[in-house]
């Protein structure tokens, strides 16, 4: 089994996000399938209170290796991040 690491940024919730979340919540509460347009808006994931998910572009990150083979990771270059990103999330998946 292998692991992969992803880096996501989040724009804080705006007025559109709040409206889309209300629609999402209404469908879930009614036990109805959430419409595709709403799922697409949230990148086919459950909405995160952190806001709108933005994949961190490759030019804003680089691999990190300690040279001894003990540590591997990702560095995020903060000054290259898109505007308004207020949260950065690192996700390991197997």
Q: What is the pLDDT of residue 5?
A: 85
Question: Residue 4: pLDDT above 90?
Answer: no
Q: pLDDT of 20-36, one tens digit each? A: 999 999 999 999 999 99
Q: What is the pLDDT of residue 54?
A: 87
Structure-token pair, residue 75: 């560095």
The answer to whether 47 touches 21, Cβ cutoff 8 Å, is yes
State the greatest distance between any 2 C-alpha atoms of the chain, in Å, as a whole number.
Answer: 54
Tokens of 24: 């999402």
**Predicted local distance difference test score (pLDDT) of residue 82:** 85
Judge whether 63 and 51 are in contact, CB under 8 Å.
Answer: no
pLDDT by residue (tens digit) across 52-89? 888 888 899 998 888 888 888 899 999 999 888 999 99
Strand partners, 75: 62
Provide the pLDDT for residue 68. 87
């Amino acid at each position: 089994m292998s692991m992969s690491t992803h880096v996501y940024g989040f724009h804080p919730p705006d007025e559109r996000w709040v409206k889309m979340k209300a629609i999402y919540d209404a469908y879930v509460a009614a036990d109805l399938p959430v419409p595709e347009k709403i799922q697409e808006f949230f990148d086919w994931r459950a909405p995160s209170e952190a806001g709108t998910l933005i994949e961190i572009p490759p030019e804003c990150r680089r691999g990190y290796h300690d040279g001894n083979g003990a540590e591997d990771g990702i560095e995020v270059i903060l000054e290259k991040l898109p505007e308004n990103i207020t949260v950065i999330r690192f996700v390991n998946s197997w």
